[in-house]
Amino acid sequence: MVPVPTPSTPPQIPREVLEDAVAHLAPVLPLLRELGERFSAKGHDLALVGGPVRDAFLGRESLDLDLTTSAGPEVTEEILAAWGDAHWDMGRDFGTIGARRGEHVVEVTTYRADEYDGTTRKPVVAFGDTLEGDLVRRDFTVNAMALRLPDLELVDPHGGLVDLAAYRLRTPSAPEVSFSDDPLRMMRAARFVAQLGLVPVPEVVTAMEQAATTLQIVSAERVRDELVKLLLAPDPVTGLRLLVDTGLAEQVLPELPALQLEIDEHHRHKDVYEHSLTVLEQAIDLETGPDGDVPAPDLVLRLAALLHDIGKPPTRRFETGGGVSFHHHDVVGAKLTAKRMRALRFDKDTTKAVARLVELHLRFHGYGDGQWTDSAVRRYVTDAGPLLTRLHRLTRADCTTRNQRKARRLSHAYDDLEVRIERLLEAEELGKVRPELDGHEIGEVLGIRPGPVLGRAYSYLLSVRLDEGPIGKEAAADRLRQWWAQQPEHEG
């Protein structure tokens, strides 16, 4: 039978709630209890803390096993070395030692009582002497719960379990103090809104509004990591709205609030901000599971959906008669996307993929009534390359019109385009499209060596291949000679 933490059970928490939580920890309880006994034998306390405890009460499995202890890092390392299959220094100066036993990894950190200097996010490290003192420095009450080991005594001095049951997001200390200590906690607030459906209390929202600019002292990499976690959450839109409403988005992703273009009676146009959030939601609905060709959640697709129209504010023009245009916002948006993602230190491949999708997101609208030639379809596929599946989903998600007739027409048109793409892919293997002469053969036909001229010749034959489909090596060689006759190098 799973042991139940009864010694200090808060009276307002039903026993069955605790039983269910502990039941979710059952696979790791023997390991945790043994580790707790080893620390206790050395005269030190040990507790499971934070996310794993919160997730147990939510009925969620947690891969993290974060523990906190009264022992210093040297003692912790000694205990873990004797207990685990392997151990390592994760940050001795911060009191954290890691260890692995079988398939389980634990991180054990000495009680902390850090102070921040207000100019950087790096704390002045100070070790604490009580579990309660450690819990009060944590970000939110739902993460400030602990289970003492080995007895599984619940320690919840700030009412985190009650807040969790009420879907309420509060800080253990005053929110303005908590966010001043660590501004990244404001990003975490938005993430927990998106991940767990928690609702921040008014004082938390107010503190976020007042401290938004302090996020500037946090490194771009840490901000990016929190943004990614938010975007990959089940409901990223609610988290993004909190970022925008509190002014945090101005520090993180200013292109998003910039989409809130004013709308007046003379220049009516679609609300680009609301449209973008809707496109994100619809793109998520089109994601496939882990067995699909693009596993969900799909960060590249979600970023492209969110950012696809950020080129509209700088390209907006009011036309005669009250219309509004956004000419070339796809190209401008792609450049802005790449710039912002580089500023957030995204890797090159992700940045390139998202920017390319933003650049291509309007391409389908040239399809019109399905009058594209096979050449145009080939170019669509070739330009999308490995992003074709994502481009399909982004394009479909980008239809947010309330005009059902127009929506059906666009859907049917894209259905038709996808059918044509599949036929051409099957017939011509467009995913592997190449000129019908390789570089060596081009050099032999023209009598030239590898270099820039041969590269231009290769590009020319690729365009012929895309425009006309397979024409055979002999015809390709003839076309190449005709092209060569018009080049200045040939005349020279």
Q: Give 382's pLDDT tier (boundaries 50, 70, 90).
A: confident
Asked whether the beta carbons of 171 and 140 are under 8 A apart, the reply is: yes
Distance CA 469, CA 244 (A): 48
Return the number of other C-beta atoms located less than 10 Å from residue 33's C-beta.
15
CA angle 241, 246, 249 (to 5 degrees): 65
What's the pTM?
A: 0.82
Residue 4 confidence class, pLDDT cut points 50, 70, 90? very low
Residues 6+ apart with CB under 8 A from 126: 112, 113, 114, 115
Percent of the chain with pLDDT over 90: 55
CB 259, CB 313: distance < 8 Å: yes
Q: DSSP H helical segments within 344-438, as ranges?
A: 348-360, 374-384, 388-397, 404-428
Instruction: Give pLDDT tens digits for 138-156.
Output: 999 999 999 999 988 899 9
Q: Is the dihedral of CA 65, 68, 69, 72 positive or negative?
A: positive
Length of the chain as a residue count: 492
Q: Taking 50 as the threshold, does the pLDDT of residue 7 lie above it?
A: no
Per-residue HEC secondary structure of 212-247 comes to: HHHHHHCCHHHHHHHHHHHHCCCCHHHHHHHHHHHC
pLDDT band at 54; cut points 50, 70, 90: very high
CA distances from 298 to 292, 346, 358, 381 (A): 11, 15, 15, 20
Average pLDDT over residues 67-83: 95
**Strand ranges for 224-304 from DSSP E:** none
Q: Is 44 buried (19+), middle (13-18) or exposed (0-12) by CB count in 10 A? A: middle
Q: From CA 364, how far away is CA 378, in angstroms rounded?
A: 13
pLDDT of 20 reads 78
Q: Tell me if 442 sits within 8 A of 454, measured CB to CB.
A: yes
> What angle in degrees, to the nearest 10, is found between the helix axes of 348-360 and 299-307?
50
Say which amino acid occupies 243: L
**Which stretch, 19-23, 126-130, 309-313, 451-455, has highest mean pLDDT?**
309-313
The answer to whether residue 94 scores a pLDDT higher than 70 is yes
Quick one: CA dihedral 192, 197, 202, 203, positive or negative? negative
